[in-house]
Each structure stands twice: as structure tokens, then as C-alpha cells.
Chains A and B, each alone.
Chain A
């Protein structure tokens, strides 16, 4: 009895100190980091979308700043943001479907599509309000098709 108890205590101690736990914490940090990256995308799109819709007055500097931030996020390397063991099956508050890892090349290629669309937006951001809507189209498509395939529904 005592031995069993000792053994389980030792086991618990080993788990607490093992690299496995460190990995789980890194995983949590990666999830927070990628959600932060998505929030920057949302913030930037909000600025440009508001101008495209006419809700906010067009401002070339603000539009360019937002577009460049968007393109900067879209150029991040995905690897460190999506370590193994952080799918929706592994972690409760993750919405990244396991397909992210089983179809990594496709995931990467969709992210590249976003990068290309974001560069297109940077190109026209300073040229006036009229071009914003059209440049947002491919970005919406890139977001949507990636979310369709790789993000868990609410």
C-alpha cells in the first residue's frame, strides 16, 4: 500500500518535472501567439474594411499601415505557431483541426495565398478608397477557404 502510494507520488513528481509538461506549456504559448496573430489580422482588416465600406473616412497612411501589418503577419512562419500536440483534439481551447498537421502542405499553401492577397492590398492601399474593396476580395477568400478546411466550427 505504502509502496503503491510512494510509486504514484514519484510518478506524479516525474510528470510534473518532465519535458512533457514543458511541451504543454509551449503549446499553450503557441496557441496564444497564433490567436494574437489572427487578432492583428482582424484589427488590420477592420481598418481597411471600414474604409472600403465607407463607414470610416479614407486615410492613405492609416490604410497603408494596416495593410503592411496584415502582410507582415501573413509572412510569419507557421511552424512555430502550430507545434504538434496543439490541435482541437489535444487542447480544449484550440480550434485548429488535426488536418492542419495531416495536410500541412495544403495548410501552408493556403497561408501563402493569404500572403499574396495581402501583398496585393499593400500595393493599392495608398491609391484611394475605390480599390480597397476589390483588394479585400482575395483576402476574404483566403481566410474563408483556410477556415473552412482547418478551423473547427463554433
Chain B
């Protein structure tokens, strides 16, 4: 009897240990970023494509204020309200971080303290980024103004305030590759759309646990920030030419010379700064993704 009990206890321990191992924070190899040398000018373009200032810059601010990455934007979700953190190069932000820590935050969703980030921070997309681009972005962000505004804690009810549980979420939803595979997938456009610009975060619907439903990739979704919806931008709904799309990303004008509204205005603020080839690459990719009807 005692033996049986001991065996059960042992099994329980193994299950718990196995479980803890499964939901551990999975960081990069220690030397993954050691040889990288970031280029701030290249990083400025990554910063623009990623639209970092949309969520972390001063809301409704001037061009200069947008580059003060004090955070504080509220992101409403079914799980509670997230507040974007200060990511300026100050003590209150990420000034004390190393490149390795920044890279783990970006591509693994793990904080320097070894905690999981909530996927409101789009590391699911960034996990597909090249580490050189992460290093360039890091170099650029060092050049931005400092803000000493303290990051506001998220406002999440139990059980969503348990960060450890995010390990399970990551097991289920962290991607191990591209959404659009196959030879006809335009590589540069795919990199920009699926990784850096994280278009799918808003344009793809989510399941009840907040994971992206990738079979409906870019097929449109309810607007997380309130009324209306984010449009389907696959060929199933969007009949613009690639040139129309590229021009929209440059100027904000639709083919009818209406303009973007909502958070897409911030996105276009970023894409208008990219080389024309990159806007064309995004457009070519959007034209090539499978149609969602």
C-alpha cells in the first residue's frame, strides 16, 4: 500500500515537473545575438514597418512626441485591459536591457525577469523576424528620447493575471514557420506582412483563447478597439490591384480617393516611410494569399 502511494506520488511529481518544463520560458541560445552589430539607420525602417510608435508612442502626438515611447495606450480585449509599457531607452523603459534580453522579448515573448509576455505584444509575429533586424531595431531605439513615465500594470482578472499559464498558450499558438508556404509565396512581402508589420494581428480573426485562426489568414475580424470591423484583405474581398495597394500604403488614399481611418492611419504613417519596393512587396503578397470568402 505504502509502495503504491509512493509510486503515485512519484508519478504526480513527474507530471508536475513535466508540466513546468513544458510551460517554461523558452529563451534563445545564450550566444544567439553575440556576433550581431546593429545598424540604427536600417533599424529606423524596421521601426516604421513594425509601427512600434502606434502603440508605444505618445497618442495623437506630434512627430517628435510619437518617438517618445512612453507607452500607456490601453488595449481592450476579452481578457481584460492591457497597457502598453514604456520602451524608451531609460530606467523606466528598457534602458538597462541587453540586446539579448531585447531579442528574447521580441522573438520569444520572454521578459528579462524570465516571465512570459501577454501576446497583446505581437511576438507571435516577431518570432519570425531575423535576429539581425532585431539588432538593427535595438540600435535605432537607443537613439530615441528617454521617458521616465512608469509602465502601468495590466488590468486583468483571475485567471488571466497568471502569466505562467501563458506557457501553455505559447505551446498551442507560437508558430514554427510561415502561414503562407509554397513556392508562390512572395518572400519579402511575406516577411514584412507575417513578421515585422504583423498585419495578421488585426486582420485575422481569433479563437476563444485569443489565438489567430490561421485558416482565415487576413480574412478580417472584429475591431478589438471597439465598433466596426477590420476588413478582409484577401483576394476574396479586396479587388484592388497591387499598384492600388502599394499607393494606399504610401499615401493613405484608396482607389476612390477616400482615405484610411482608425489605426490604419498609424500603419500608413509607417509604411509611407518604407522604400517603394517594400510597399510593392507587401502588395504582391496580399494579392497572392489564399482568398477568404
Q: Residues of A at under 8 Å CB distance from B?
A: 41-43, 45-46, 49, 53, 136-137, 140-141, 143-145, 147-149, 151-154
- Check A145 against B265 for contact (C-beta < 8 Å): yes
- Check B252 against A143 for contact (C-beta < 8 Å): yes
Partner-contacting stretch, out of B39-47, B203-211, B227-235: B227-235
- Using A53-B247, A147-B259, A147-B261 as known contacts, say yes or no to A154 and B229 having CB atoms under 8 A apart: yes
- Using A144-B260, A144-B265 as known contacts, say yes or no to A153 and B253 having CB atoms under 8 A apart: no
Of the candidates B60, B227, B247, B252, the one whose C-beta lies within 8 Å of that of A144 is B252
- What are 14 contact pairs spanning A and B, CB under 8 A? A42-B256, A45-B257, A46-B256, A46-B257, A137-B251, A144-B268, A147-B259, A147-B265, A148-B263, A148-B266, A152-B261, A153-B229, A153-B261, A154-B231
Q: B258 at the A/B interface (Cβ < 8 Å)?
A: yes
Q: B223 at the A/B interface (Cβ < 8 Å)?
A: yes
Inter-chain pairs besides A46-B256, A148-B260, A153-B229, 11 sampled, C-beta below 8 Å: A140-B253, A143-B253, A143-B259, A144-B261, A147-B261, A147-B262, A148-B262, A153-B226, A153-B261, A153-B262, A154-B261
Closest 8 CB pairs of A and B: A153-B228, A148-B265, A45-B257, A147-B261, A143-B259, A153-B262, A144-B265, A140-B252
- Check B265 against A42 for contact (C-beta < 8 Å): no
A100 → chain B closest CB, angstroms: 14
- Using A148-B266, A153-B223 as known contacts, say yes or no to A140 and B251 having CB atoms under 8 A apart: yes
A153 → chain B closest CB, angstroms: 4
Q: How far is the CA of A70 from the CA of B26 in the complex (A)?
A: 56
Q: How far is the CA of A145 from the CA of B258 in the complex (A)?
A: 13
Q: Interface readout for B105-117 with A: 1 if CB under 8 Å, 0 if not? A: 0000000000000
Q: How far is the CA of A143 from the CA of B268 in the complex (A)?
A: 12
Residue of B nearest to A48 (CB): B257
Q: How far is the CA of A46 from the CA of B262 in the complex (A)?
A: 22
- Check A42 against B227 for contact (C-beta < 8 Å): no
Within 8 A of A (CB), among B193-223: 223
Residue of B nearest to A88 (CB): B227
| A140 contact set on B, CB distance < 8 A | 251-253, 259
A64 → chain B closest CB, angstroms: 18
Q: How far is the CA of A49 from the CA of B261 in the complex (A)?
A: 19
- Using A137-B251, A140-B251 as known contacts, say yes or no to A151 and B256 having CB atoms under 8 A apart: no
B172 → chain A closest CB, angstroms: 30
| A154 contact set on B, CB distance < 8 A | 228-229, 231, 261
- Using A152-B227, A154-B229 as known contacts, say yes or no to A147 and B253 having CB atoms under 8 A apart: no
B268 → chain A closest CB, angstroms: 7
Q: How far is the CA of A143 from the CA of B259 in the complex (A)?
A: 7
- Using A137-B251, A143-B252, A148-B266 as known contacts, say yes or no to A153 and B227 having CB atoms under 8 A apart: yes
B233 → chain A closest CB, angstroms: 13
| A145 contact set on B, CB distance < 8 A | 265
A40 → chain B closest CB, angstroms: 11
B224 → chain A closest CB, angstroms: 12
- Using A140-B252, A154-B231 as known contacts, say yes or no to A148 and B257 having CB atoms under 8 A apart: no
| B259 contact set on A, CB distance < 8 A | 140, 143-144, 147
| B227 contact set on A, CB distance < 8 A | 152-153
A56 → chain B closest CB, angstroms: 13
